[in-house]
Every structure is written in C-alpha cells, then in structure tokens.
Amino acid sequence: MVFNTGAALLDAIVLAVVSTETEGTYGYKITHEVRQAIGVSESTLYPVLRRLQKEGCLAVYDREFAGRNRRYYKITDMGWAQLQMYREEWVIYSSRISRIFSEVTDQREK
C-alpha cells in the first residue's frame, strides 16, 4: 500500500478487529484480520496490543488451547469509547479525502 499507516489509524483498526469478538480474540487472529486491511508485520502489531492494554483499552487473559496457553485480547469500556471516537473522526476524515478526490475526477472529465 502506498499510504503510510499512522499510529492512530493502526490503533483504530486493532480495536475494531478485537471488538468483533465478544469474548476477545488472540494475537495471531488479530494479525491475520488486520493484514486484510493493511500490510503490517506481527512485530508491529504486538507492541500496539501491549500499548492498548497499558492504556486500558484492552484487557488480556490466557486460555488453554491444544495444550498451550493462548493470550486473548478483549476490548474494555475505555476501548469502546476510544473506538467510537476513532469511528467518528474517520467519517469526517475519509469524507474530506473522498470529496477532494472526486473533485479532481470531476475536473478531469470537463
């Protein structure tokens, strides 16, 4: 992807992915889902998950899976509030960018 992904956008995407599972979800699945939207490495995502946990946006717990513990991340009330703020900001931001792009397209067609 030619566009850089800033920290706030990455946080928003991670929170959105985690929010889709009521019981939370684990790191590998989060990585897979985020990669559907943007190109990002695991080494980039795990620090984001730790930071969101430290900020109180994610809760973490372990659950056994196939004889091993798997770390799960679940969105908190603070995380929901943050995600809502990101959603509202995204609507404004993306509509402004889309408007600019459509104006360029309209000028080209004239």
Q: Is 2 a domain residue?
A: no
pLDDT of residue 109: 59
Domain assignment of residue 36, yes or no: yes
Average pLDDT over residues 77-100: 96
Sign (positive/negative) of CA torsion 33, 26, 28, 2? positive
| 1 part of a folded domain | no
**0.85 exceeded by pTM:** yes
Range of the domain at 51: 7-109
28 compared with 107, residue with greater pLDDT: 28
Q: How confident is the model at residue 89 (pLDDT cuts 50, 70, 90)?
A: very high
Tens digits of residue pLDDT in 55-76: 999 999 999 888 899 999 999 9
> What tokens does 7 get?
């920290």
Give the pLDDT of residue 6.
Answer: 87
Q: Is residue 44 part of a domain?
A: yes
In a domain, 72, yes or no: yes
Helices (H), the chain: 7-19, 27-37, 42-54, 77-109
**How many structural domains does the chain have?**
1
The alpha carbon of residue 85 and the mean position of all alpha carbons in its chain are separated, in whole angstroms, by 13
What CATH number should be reported for the domain holding residue 59?
A: 1.10.10.10
